[in-house]
A and B are shown apart, each in its own frame.
Chain A
Amino acid sequence: MTAAPKAQPVVQFAGVSKSFGEVKAVDDISFDIRRGEFFSILGPSGCGKTTTLRLLAGFEAPDEDGGEVRLLGETVNKKRPYERKIAMVFQNYALFPHLTVARNVSFGLEQRKTPKTEIEGRVQRALEMVRLNPEVFSGRMPGQLSGGQRQRVALARALVLEPAILLLDEPLGAIDLKLRKEMQLELKALNQQLGTTFVYVTHDQQEALTMSDRIAVMDTGRVAQLGTPAEIYENPRTAFVARFIGESNFFDGRADRRTGGQWVVARPGGGTFEVPDHPSVSQAQDVRIAVRPEWMDVQKPDSIPPGENALVGIIRDIIYLGETMHVIVTVPGTGDVTVALRNEGQLIKPLLWKRGDTAAVAWLPEDCQILEQE
């Protein structure tokens, strides 16, 4: 991240709630979005991320006394979508099927009473920006386009308005993997090049990690964690975040004693592991940690490197994944622990382990992620 901008946030959610009948779709969320950043709202379906975006667009209004949504410092709770001057790309693109590509792109300009002489040039530039040849595509109908092309038209239709904020509702969900990867990079480049604030809703953690400056992870209508991709991945605050973004192994115990700047945690089934000092850990308190599989190692029980945590179990399975090998170790009192080892070539340098071996999973105390109680 560059230095935190002093300027006022582009978007502010201040204690915003939205209910549908009895269901609280969005439950008292508060966060700011900074000018020009690529901000992702990430979560599983039903977590409230789409409702959050729709609150921002103006398709939904917050509950009475359900907080405030602010755009450029102005409270917009009661403003209609067409009064908000923001742009949006829809999940299914929502291109007008009865209008040509050019008329789709010019639609917003016409609503904003842009002079006719100006419209044509801006439409052309917008199409070029999303790498569609205006001469080829202007006259086509949306029905004649491929999924990827529709996606680009939808993007052009939004960008032609030069909005301060662009909302994107899972725009890459419906296109195939290869094109998706390409579009991810293109969107990121457009964000940097135009200086437009992007608010991007997705359920795909990989996509969010790849593109975002910051990510808000949502769970059951609340923001579970907000931070940079590295903060979210390397320091998840809750078990939900640790589980939803990447894979994690979980260990429980109770803080027993403090030695040398570290806490010794006693496991319920016997044995201990050590975790670094952490504000939320104190004497006799329950502790839950998460450890990423790639930060662990498999060791012989009698040759564990000093200072590392280790739990002994039996190898239940070894799975070949290409880039990595997953060794699944059944640890008594914990269950299955997954360790990811780099695949250095099974044909020339095979793993030394096999199913049924007794082995220890080992990791450094500083690789423990101490989780808050949910």
Chain B
Amino acid sequence: MSMPIPRWLIGFAGVVYFFLHLPVLVLVVFSFNDSKFSVDWRGFTLQWYQRLLERPDILRGLKASLIVGGAATLISAVFGTLLALALARQRFRGRRMFEGFIYVPIVTPEIVTGISLLLLFALLKIPLGLTTITIAHVAFCISFVVIVVLARLEGMDENLEEAAMILGADEVTTFWKVTVPQLWPGILSGALLAFTMSFDDFVITSFVSGPGSSTLPIVVYGMVRKNVEPSINAISTIILLATAILIYLADRLARAK
């Protein structure tokens, strides 16, 4: 760098960072505050976390989120990987169009995806519940898996598979012994992203969930709408922590050699 960064610019960036992180930081700190209403610091407590355990709706929501997240992750990881393989390695008619189509769910506003699925389920008279939530989550998670795995495939040396074949391995052996080990970090990373998004999703889920099938974000939204109490800070902090760990792992895997 030929020139130092101007001071005022650093200051400006500092203010923006402050704006970007202050709200969540405050939220986390006050999840440990020993006061129900005051925003003054009244001492450290874990009682808001204990309260969470006493709320059956939160535990049910967590369970629903884990079931949906697990199922949606598994399905979108497998199907997404197969799609990525087809797009990267196969020649077929309409490949380019299909590749473009993969990106459409990503740019589509969640509210559009949500209501269109609601209409479909209503039309087909499919009762709303964990199944419909899972179907919806897979529909928006697949694209992310495809993109992550595709990036991995593009970075992968195509000659590796040819090398395996000339060394005597047939297509199936080559796939399991060379392709999958190479793609594994990408698949895992895509799966973690899918789980994170499924776990976090509120908007789409809110349209396709039925009575008794509320995921954690739906429960939290209900709490936020009702009144602001420190338990929300506590559950938010837990969600933040879980997301941060998942994303960290996904990032590590995506960078793995």
Which residues of the partner chain A approach B169 to less than 8 Å between Cβ atoms?
82, 107, 111
User: With A81-B162, A90-B162 in contact, is A111–B181 under 8 Å at CB?
Assistant: no
Q: Is the C-beta of A266 less than 8 angstroms from some C-beta in chain B?
A: no
Per-residue interface assignment for chain B, residues 213 to 257, with 1 indicating a CB less than 8 Å from any chain A CB and 0 otherwise? 000000000000000000000000000000000000000000001
Main secondary structure of the interface of A (DSSP, over half): loop
User: With A92-B159, A97-B257, A98-B181 in contact, is A111–B166 under 8 Å at CB?
Assistant: no
Pair A59/B178 contact, Cβ less than 8 Å: no
A143 is contacted by which of B160, B170, B257 (Cβ under 8 Å)?
B257
Pair B166/A88 contact, Cβ less than 8 Å: yes
**Measured CA separation A143–B257 after assembly (Å):** 9
| Residue in chain A with minimal CB distance to B169 | A111
**Measured CA separation A285–B159 after assembly (Å):** 50
| Residue in chain A with minimal CB distance to B161 | A94
Pair B182/A94 contact, Cβ less than 8 Å: no
Min Cβ gap A217→B in Å is 25
A88 is contacted by which of B163, B171, B178 (Cβ under 8 Å)?
B163
Q: Is the C-beta of A61 less than 8 angstroms from some C-beta in chain B?
A: no
Residues A91-139 near B (CB distance < 8 A):
91-92, 94-98, 107-108, 111-112
Q: Is the C-beta of A161 less than 8 angstroms from some C-beta in chain B?
A: yes
**Measured CA separation A179–B54 after assembly (Å):** 72
Residues A56-98 near B (CB distance < 8 A):
57-59, 80-82, 84-88, 90-92, 94-98
User: With A97-B182, A98-B182 in contact, is A111–B167 under 8 Å at CB?
Assistant: yes
Q: Is the C-beta of A18 less than 8 angstroms from some C-beta in chain B?
A: no
Which residues of the partner chain A approach B164 to less than 8 Å between Cβ atoms?
96, 107
Min Cβ gap A348→B in Å is 50
| Residue in chain A with minimal CB distance to B182 | A98
Indicate the size class of the contact surface on chain B. 10 to 19
Q: Is the C-beta of A34 less than 8 angstroms from some C-beta in chain B?
A: no
Which residues of the partner chain A approach B177 to less than 8 Å between Cβ atoms?
107
Pair B170/A82 contact, Cβ less than 8 Å: yes
Pair A94/B170 contact, Cβ less than 8 Å: no
B159 is contacted by which of A94, A111, A112 (Cβ under 8 Å)?
A94
Pair A94/B162 contact, Cβ less than 8 Å: yes
| Max count, chain B CB within 10 A of own CB: residue among A57, A85, A96 | A96
Which residues of the partner chain A approach B167 to less than 8 Å between Cβ atoms?
82, 87, 107-108, 111, 157, 161
Pair A57/B162 contact, Cβ less than 8 Å: yes
**Measured CA separation A112–B157 after assembly (Å):** 24
**Measured CA separation A220–B257 after assembly (Å):** 38
Q: Is the C-beta of B100 less than 8 angstroms from some C-beta in chain A?
A: no
**Measured CA separation A92–B159 after assembly (Å):** 8
| Max count, chain A CB within 10 A of own CB: residue among B160, B164, B168, B181 | B168
Which residues of the partner chain B approach A92 to less than 8 Å between Cβ atoms?
157, 159
Given contacts A82-B167, A98-B181, 18 further A-B contacts (CB under 8 A): A58-B166, A59-B162, A59-B165, A81-B166, A82-B168, A87-B167, A88-B163, A90-B163, A94-B160, A94-B162, A95-B163, A96-B160, A97-B182, A97-B257, A107-B169, A111-B169, A111-B173, A161-B168
B residues adjacent to A (C-beta < 8 A)? 157, 159-160, 162-171, 173, 177-178, 181-182, 257
Chain A to chain B: the 7 pairs with minimum beta-carbon distance, closest first:
A111-B168, A108-B167, A94-B159, A94-B163, A81-B165, A98-B181, A90-B159
